[in-house]
Chains A and B, each alone.
Chain A
């Protein structure tokens, strides 16, 4: 058994795949830096991320899988779920070792596990597309703070850029302390001083003049559309789990 330790980046993961084939390793255990538990009688190999090697692996994957199949690997990697690296690695090795495209073989445990992770990621991405609540600030920027279960910000760019093309906006992941900022032309990743994001009071002080009016109207609307005789709290909470409430204007 060889333990491979990589830096947690996608390129690092692909470099690890390169090493597996280069060194003809059979039994491996892939782990992120810092998560590594040491065991006796193990070879340890520190992976040094190498863009050229990573690109060769990516090129190979593009020959074995459809664009969608490669995309799944990237999404699964973004999930940052602990100890799933070996399933991602298993999926990649299965893809390389098979003659045909294997991405629809749901009978295979790696394909199935990756499709489960991708489903969780897509659900979280979809939830963010639904639950993000922009607040208009004085400088006409629409700001939203979020705390998604997984790292889905990179997956949100396309949707929000094409939808809100004529307004400046920022979506900030408070948990992971980075965000997206759209300046009417491009989307870029930004990072702020932690204290300035974390206090809702500062955001409220920066509200544009009609912001509170529309929040008030939205809360009222939300109350008015409820039909009390059909109340179904269980269903309600299943659709909007409580952990999302603190960023939802209508639930605050």
Chain B
């Protein structure tokens, strides 16, 4: 049965006879070889099934290496990058791809005829520790298909995290999936061992979920999030009072929504994200462009391209909400429910709000400077630091890291040279697009307002 791998450690070697020892060793080596093949196969199946979960963050925790144990978790490191350019930071696997659910968008769904496999608890522990010691990874991201029921599955995920922390003194990063429907008791235990927990909302709206995952219930996903959010707030308070109080999911919660499998527009998606950032203190919402893996009449066809540009624009909008002080309805609203695909959402906002510009770089508030296309968070902070010494000119702004070819339409500085023409937003967009060589430019079509 797939669930039981060979347990070579259970074979005892008699100490007395070298002859038998040698013979047994040969058998052992044979068993280990088979074991390697079997584990390789499992790893291939269960890493392949886990890869559509896009989160690979290993940052935001502050777990230290205590008592000369193994590892720590703080800022996050991408140890490698896949050929599609995504970060490889964690050993991201499913415990098993056996699943009792039949979600249309998922490769591991019950009715899909694929190879199934399952790791034992010890196998996951060994892989994690040995990969970590070689500096391949920052830690473990463990998810699972639902076998038997939610609690049974969650219990096994928690067991692995517990074993890593208590028996192996492992302080690297652990991200566990919260299995919808798991009991509060298990979720509490998970929070004690994991750095981050996440529940995937899967579809941006409840209607979308009903359509593609009829067995799943949105409330079941929200319940563990609500519970963990309360618990995290409470534990953080406790930790302020008692330094020795144990850490509880120090890297918080995150979630993922699939983009382009159902007809939600960007306004709906970003409003959902905003709702969860505000009410559940989520650290991240991930947007995963739907990769057609299955033929199903409810889904886009198998030859549909992955909506990579749209995904990218959603992340840019997400960043604007979290780091640039934008409100969600400034980015998308009823007049503007879709993000532009040909320009980024910050430039989009700027050309719709020309009345806010130009701003004087040597006087304006940091909050306003952050809204200028072509100026990022770091450049904005450097500008604010540097202008205390002397007013800045174009050349200095350029060296600080400002993209002058975009910013020049929106700012003035210590120079007589600035944009004097009264340009419309549309004109500016044309100028900027003509000058830039966007990686997306050749295959851009704007989104249709009707799905």
Q: Measuring CB to CB, which residues of chain A are less than 8 angstroms from any residue of chain B?
A: 102, 104-108, 112, 126, 129-136, 142, 144, 162-167, 184, 210, 213-214, 216-218, 220-236, 238-240, 248-250
User: Could you tell me the distance between the alpha carbons of A250 and B399 in the complex, rounded to whole angstroms?
Assistant: 37
List B contacts of A132 (CB < 8 A).
Answer: 135
A204 → chain B, closest Cβ, in Å?
15
The answer to whether residues A134 and B306 also contact, given A112-B399, A230-B84, A240-B81 and a CB cut-off of 8 A, is no
Determine if B275 is an interface residue (Cβ-Cβ < 8 Å): no
Select which of A107, A226, A231, A238 is within 8 A of B392 by beta carbon: A107
Judge whether B81 and A229 touch: CB under 8 Å: no
Instruction: List the 6 closest A-B pairs by CB distance, nearest first.
Output: A235-B85, A230-B84, A104-B385, A106-B386, A224-B47, A239-B81
> Which B residues from 388 to 432 make CB contacts under 8 A with A?
388-390, 392, 396, 399-400
Determine if B243 is an interface residue (Cβ-Cβ < 8 Å): no
User: Could you tell me the distance between the alpha carbons of A163 and B77 in the complex, rounded to whole angstroms?
Assistant: 13
List B contacts of A221 (CB < 8 A).
Answer: 43, 47, 91, 131
User: Could you tell me the distance between the alpha carbons of A84 and B171 in the complex, rounded to whole angstroms?
Assistant: 40
Determine if B127 is an interface residue (Cβ-Cβ < 8 Å): yes
Select which of B81, B131, B388, B396 is within 8 A of A236 by beta carbon: B81
User: Could you tell me the distance between the alpha carbons of A240 and B439 in the complex, rounded to whole angstroms?
Assistant: 19
A-B contact pairs, 29 of them (CB 8 A): A105-B386, A105-B388, A107-B390, A130-B77, A135-B134, A144-B135, A164-B70, A164-B135, A165-B65, A214-B131, A217-B43, A217-B131, A220-B44, A221-B91, A222-B88, A225-B48, A225-B50, A225-B92, A227-B51, A227-B82, A230-B86, A233-B83, A234-B85, A235-B81, A236-B82, A239-B85, A240-B81, A248-B80, A249-B136
A51 → chain B, closest Cβ, in Å?
34
Select which of B52, B80, B389, B439 is within 8 A of A105 by beta carbon: B389
Select which of B39, B79, B127 is within 8 A of A130 by beta carbon: B79
Which residue, of A164, A167, A240, has the highest number of chain B Cβ atoms within 10 A?
A: A164
The answer to whether residues A229 and B306 also contact, given A163-B65, A236-B83 and a CB cut-off of 8 A, is yes
Select which of B40, B70, B71 is within 8 A of A220 by beta carbon: B40
Select which of A102, A107, A165 is within 8 A of B68 by beta carbon: A165
User: Could you tell me the distance between the alpha carbons of A126 and B70 in the complex, rounded to whole angstroms?
Assistant: 20
A115 → chain B, closest Cβ, in Å?
8
Determine if B291 is an interface residue (Cβ-Cβ < 8 Å): yes
B69 → chain A, closest Cβ, in Å?
6
Judge whether B133 and A142 touch: CB under 8 Å: yes
Judge whether A224 and B51 touch: CB under 8 Å: yes
Determine if B72 is an interface residue (Cβ-Cβ < 8 Å): yes
A-B pair count, CB < 8 Å, reads 157
Judge whether A231 and B135 touch: CB under 8 Å: no
Determine if B192 is an interface residue (Cβ-Cβ < 8 Å): no
Determine if B245 is an interface residue (Cβ-Cβ < 8 Å): no
Determine if B36 is an interface residue (Cβ-Cβ < 8 Å): yes
A145 → chain B, closest Cβ, in Å?
13
In the complex, besides A106-B385, A166-B68, A221-B43, 12 extra interface pairs with C-beta distance below 8 angstroms are A106-B386, A107-B392, A112-B396, A134-B135, A166-B70, A217-B43, A225-B88, A225-B92, A231-B83, A232-B85, A233-B83, A239-B81
> Which B residues from 282 to 301 make CB contacts under 8 A with A?
291-292
List B contacts of A102 (CB < 8 A).
Answer: 389
List A contacts of B72 (CB < 8 A).
Answer: 162-163
User: Could you tell me the distance between the alpha carbons of A166 and B127 in the complex, rounded to whole angstroms?
Assistant: 18
List B contacts of A105 (CB < 8 A).
Answer: 385-386, 388-390
Which residue, of A126, A163, A221, A248, has the highest number of chain B Cβ atoms within 10 A?
A: A221
Determine if B222 is an interface residue (Cβ-Cβ < 8 Å): no
Judge whether B131 and A227 touch: CB under 8 Å: no
Judge whether B399 and A165 touch: CB under 8 Å: no
Judge whether B48 and A224 touch: CB under 8 Å: yes
The answer to whether residues A104 and B84 also contact, given A130-B77, A221-B91, A225-B51 and a CB cut-off of 8 A, is no
List A contacts of B80 (CB < 8 A).
Answer: 130-131, 222, 240, 248, 250
Determine if B309 is an interface residue (Cβ-Cβ < 8 Å): no
Judge whether A106 and B382 touch: CB under 8 Å: yes
B303 → chain A, closest Cβ, in Å?
10
User: Could you tell me the distance between the alpha carbons of A191 and B44 in the complex, rounded to whole angstroms?
Assistant: 40
List A contacts of B392 (CB < 8 A).
Answer: 107
Judge whether A218 and B306 touch: CB under 8 Å: no
Judge whether A236 and B135 touch: CB under 8 Å: no
The answer to whether residues A225 and B47 also contact, given A112-B400, A217-B127 and a CB cut-off of 8 A, is yes
User: Could you tell me the distance between the alpha carbons of A233 and B85 in the complex, rounded to whole angstroms?
Assistant: 7
List A contacts of B281 (CB < 8 A).
Answer: none
Determine if B359 is an interface residue (Cβ-Cβ < 8 Å): no
A29 → chain B, closest Cβ, in Å?
23
Judge whether A142 and B84 touch: CB under 8 Å: no
Determine if B125 is an interface residue (Cβ-Cβ < 8 Å): no
List A contacts of B396 (CB < 8 A).
Answer: 106-107, 112
Determine if B120 is an interface residue (Cβ-Cβ < 8 Å): no
User: Could you tell me the distance between the alpha carbons of A133 and B68 in the complex, rounded to whole angstroms?
Assistant: 21
Judge whether B78 and A232 touch: CB under 8 Å: no
> Which B residues from 356 to 408 make CB contacts under 8 A with A?
382-383, 385-390, 392, 396, 399-400
Determine if B272 is an interface residue (Cβ-Cβ < 8 Å): no
List B contacts of A133 (CB < 8 A).
Answer: 134-136
Judge whether A164 and B133 touch: CB under 8 Å: yes
The answer to whether residues A107 and B136 also contact, given A163-B65, A233-B83 and a CB cut-off of 8 A, is no
Select which of A130, A144, A230, A249 is within 8 A of B78 by beta carbon: A130
